Amino acid sequence: MTHLTQKEIESIENKLRKRQQELLEEVRNEFDERENQHLAALMGNDPGDAGDLSLADELADLNILRVDRQIKELREIETKLAQIKEGCLNTCNDCEKGIGLQRLLAYPTAMRCVSCQERHEQMYAHESHPSL
């Protein structure tokens, strides 16, 4: 396995911390926006017709999904930051071989090498596509 230099590790860690701050800000903004919508509703805004209510429900669901994705990414970042402390930043979770530097620079939260990630996506591709 190729070992990363301290400078490379710091570069990846900086990317992770920057993205972490961006995500935290996005989540805060989502919750602030939801709180403002809740306050507007409490002040007696007319809810509109059934179509308006349906659209509002859909938008709320989309916001929940967005926050869920953001929180998932925050957890991935926390895992990678912990791996940096443990000295195993570029170790593939599946084969325990090295995750390439270019992959980590492009996708700092990568948990698998390219080969294992491709295999994982092939095995679990059907789970992300609901069927009737």
Looking at 5-14, 16-25, 52-61, 79-88, which range is the least confident one?
52-61
Q: Which domain holds residue 88?
A: 6-128
CA–CA dist 23, 115 (Å, integer)? 28
Cα dihedral sign for 88, 93, 98, 99?
A: negative
| Token pair for 19 | 């993205």
Neighbours of 77 (CB within 10 A): 20
Q: What percent of the chain has pLDDT over 70?
A: 71
Domain total in the chain: 1
Identify whether 1 is part of a domain: no
Compute the mean pLDDT over every residue in the chain, rounded to the nearest whole number.
82
For position 125, what pLDDT does the model report?
A: 78
Is residue 12 helix, strand or coil?
helix
For position 130, what pLDDT does the model report?
A: 54
Residue 40 above 60 pLDDT?
A: no
Residue 38 above 60 pLDDT?
A: no
CATH of the domain at 111: 1.20.120.910
Nearest partner of 113 among 126, 129, 130, 96, judged by Cα: 96
Residue 52 above 90 pLDDT?
A: no
Identify whether 64 is part of a domain: yes
Residue 113 above 90 pLDDT?
A: yes
- For the purposes of burial, counting CB atoms within 10 Å of the CB of 101, is it exposed (0-12), middle (13-18) or buried (19 or more)? middle
Flag whether the pTM goes above 0.75: no
HEC states along 27-83?
A: HHHHHHHHHHHHHHHHCCCCCCCHHHHHHHHHHHHHHHHHHHHHHHHHHHHHHHHHH
Where does the pLDDT of residue 65 fall: very low under 50, low under 70, confident under 90, or very high at 90 and above?
Answer: confident
